[in-house]
C-alpha cells in the first residue's frame, strides 16, 4: 500500500482506511489501522521462528481476523503461541476470542479485572455514530497476569513486558519492549497525531509515563493509535504528549479556580495546537478524570461521556 489518500469523486480527499502489516525489523510487525480514531487501534506480532507473540487484538471479529490472517501469511503459518493485551480497552482486547485457544494470553491483573467487568462488549451504548458492532466475539481474559515485568524468550528474541509503575492510560498498562531490536510497543501510552485519552487512567500518571517511555531510547515506537514513529520523531511525539497533558492539568486548575465544571472548562479552553487532532472531545473526558482525582472521588463515566457529546454537539465518530 503506497498511496495514503485517494480522491473522492466529488472532490474532497478521504483517508485510505486500509490497515497494513508493516515489517519493522525481520519478523517484527506492526498492524496499523488508519485512521486510528475511536476503536481503530494498532496491534503487533513478533515471530520467534517456532512461535509468534501477538501484541493486542482489535475491536471487532472482522478486524481481528484480518490482522491474524495477515500475520499468518507473513510468518508462513508459524503458530501464535502467546499474546499480550497492553490494556483493558475493547479496541485492543475484544478480539481476544479469535486467538487460537492454545495460545496463552497475558495481561496486567488490573487489565484482566477491567475487561472482566466490561459491559460494552455485550452491546455498545449509542455514544458513537455509527454504533459499533463487534461481531462474533466473546470475552476472553488473560490466563497469565503480569503485575510488573515478565520476559518472554521467542527463539533468540527477547520481549520484555513491562508496567510503567503507576496508573497512566489505565490502571493496568503494559508495554512490549524488544531490547535487541529497540522496538517499543507502547499501547495507548502513545497516540500519534490523535488526541490522547486518559479518562480511565491518570493525567499526571500519563505525563510521568512519557519520561519512562523516553528512557527506553527506542528506535521504533508502535503507538496504540496512529502511524508508527521512527528515530528522532519519537522525541517529538513524546513532547507533544507532555504538552497535551500539561495543557489538561492547567485547564483543570484554571477551571476549578473559576468554579467551572469540566464541560464548562473545556468549552472555554483554546485547544491551540491540539485542535486539529482527531477525537478532540477527549479534552472533556480527560478533564473529568483530573477533576475526579483532584476531588478524590470516582469518575462518573456516564456523565463524562454525556459531556463529551455535549461539547461535540453530536455522538462521537468511529470508523470501526
Residues that bind Zn ion (CB under 5 A): 89, 188
CA pair distance 58, 320, nearest whole angstrom? 10
CA pair distance 79, 100, nearest whole angstrom? 8
Q: CB of 271: closest distance to Zn ion in angstroms?
A: 21
Q: In this complex, which beta carbon is closest to Zn ion, that of residue 24 or of residue 189?
A: 189
Q: In this complex, which beta carbon is closest to Zn ion, that of residue 92 or of residue 157?
A: 92
Asked whether the beta carbons of 168 and 205 are under 8 A apart, the reply is: yes
Q: CB of 188: closest distance to Zn ion in angstroms?
A: 4
Q: CB of 34: closest distance to Zn ion in angstroms?
A: 17
Residues 6+ apart with CB under 8 A from 238: 190, 210, 213, 214
Q: In this complex, which beta carbon is closest to Zn ion, that of residue 154 or of residue 174?
A: 174
Q: In this complex, which beta carbon is closest to Zn ion, that of residue 98 or of residue 189?
A: 189
Q: In this complex, which beta carbon is closest to Zn ion, that of residue 181 or of residue 188?
A: 188
CA pair distance 120, 124, nearest whole angstrom? 5
CA pair distance 101, 260, nearest whole angstrom? 50
Q: CB of 224: closest distance to Zn ion in angstroms?
A: 6
φ, ψ of residue 28 to 5 degrees: the values are -115, 120
Q: CB of 285: closest distance to Zn ion in angstroms?
A: 12
| Residue 183 cell numbers, joined | 522496538
Of the candidates 175, 169, 172, the residue with the CA atom closest to the CA atom of residue 152: 175
| Residue 225 cell numbers, joined | 493509535
Q: In this complex, which beta carbon is closest to Zn ion, that of residue 145 or of residue 186?
A: 186
Q: CB of 197: closest distance to Zn ion in angstroms?
A: 6
| Residue 159 cell numbers, joined | 520481549
Q: CB of 101: closest distance to Zn ion in angstroms?
A: 25
Q: CB of 107: closest distance to Zn ion in angstroms?
A: 13
b/e burial code for range 212-243 (CB count within 10 A of at least 16 → b): bbeebebbbbbbbbbbbbeeeebeebbebbee
CA pair distance 195, 169, nearest whole angstrom? 12
Q: In this complex, which beta carbon is closest to Zn ion, that of residue 68 or of residue 285?
A: 285
Q: CB of 225: closest distance to Zn ion in angstroms?
A: 8
The helix or strand, by DSSP H or E, that contains position 274, with its residue range, turns out to be none
Q: In this complex, which beta carbon is closest to Zn ion, that of residue 89 or of residue 157?
A: 89
CA pair distance 191, 213, nearest whole angstrom? 13
φ, ψ of residue 134 to 5 degrees: the values are -75, -15
Sign of CA dihedral 243, 110, 129, 134: positive
Measure CA 301 to chain center: 18
Q: In this complex, which beta carbon is closest to Zn ion, that of residue 75 or of residue 318?
A: 318
Amino acid at each position: 500500500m503506497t498511496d495514503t489518500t485517494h480522491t473522492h469523486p466529488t472532490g474532497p480527499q478521504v483517508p485510505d482506511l486500509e490497515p497494513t502489516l508493516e515489517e519493522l525489523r525481520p519478523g517484527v510487525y506492526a498492524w496499523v489501522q488508519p485512521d486510528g480514531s475511536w476503536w481503530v487501534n494498532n496491534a503487533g506480532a513478533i515471530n520467534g521462528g517456532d512461535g509468534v507473540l501477538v501484541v493486542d487484538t482489535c475491536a471487532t471479529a472482522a478486524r481481528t481476523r484480518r490482522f491474524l490472517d495477515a500475520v499468518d501469511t507473513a510468518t508462513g503459518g508459524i503458530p501464535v503461541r502467546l499474546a499480550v493485551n497492553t490494556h483493558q480497552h475493547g479496541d485492543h482486547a475484544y478480539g481476544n476470542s479469535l486467538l487460537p485457544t492454545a495460545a496463552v494470553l497475558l495481561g496486567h491483573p488490573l487489565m484482566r479485572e477491567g475487561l472482566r467487568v466490561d459491559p460494552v462488549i455485550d452491546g455498545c451504548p449509542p455514544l458513537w455514530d455509527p454504533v459499533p458492532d463487534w461481531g462474533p466475539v466473546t470475552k476472553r481474559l488473560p490466563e497469565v497476569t503480569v503485575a510488573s515485568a515478565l520476559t518472554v524468550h521467542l527463539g533468540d528474541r527477547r520481549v520484555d513486558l513491562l508496567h510503567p509503575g503507576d496508573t497512566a492510560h489505565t490502571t493496568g498498562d503494559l508495554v512490549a519492549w524488544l531490547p535487541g531490536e529497540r522496538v517499543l510497543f507502547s499501547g495507548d501510552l502513545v497516540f500519534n497525531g490523535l488526541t490522547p485519552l486518559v479518562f480511565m487512567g491518570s493525567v499526571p500518571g500519563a505525563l510521568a509515563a512519557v519520561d519512562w517511555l523516553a528512557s527506553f531510547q527506542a528506535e521504533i515506537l508502535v503507538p496504540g493509535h496512529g502511524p508508527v514513529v521512527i528515530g528522532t520523531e519519537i522525541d517529538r511525539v513524546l513532547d507533544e504528549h507532555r504538552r497535551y497533558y500539561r495543557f489538561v492539568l492547567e485547564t483543570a486548575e484554571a477551571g476549578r479556580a473559576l468554579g467551572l465544571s469540566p464541560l464548562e472548562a473545556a468549552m472555554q479552553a483554546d485547544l491551540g495546537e491540539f485542535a486539529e487532532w482527531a477525537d478532540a472531545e477527549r479534552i472533556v473526558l480527560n478533564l473529568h478524570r483530573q477533576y475526579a482525582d483532584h476531588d478524590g472521588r470516582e469518575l462518573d463515566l456516564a456523565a463524562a461521556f454525556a459531556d463529551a457529546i455535549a461539547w461535540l454537539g453530536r455522538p462521537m465518530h468511529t470508523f470501526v
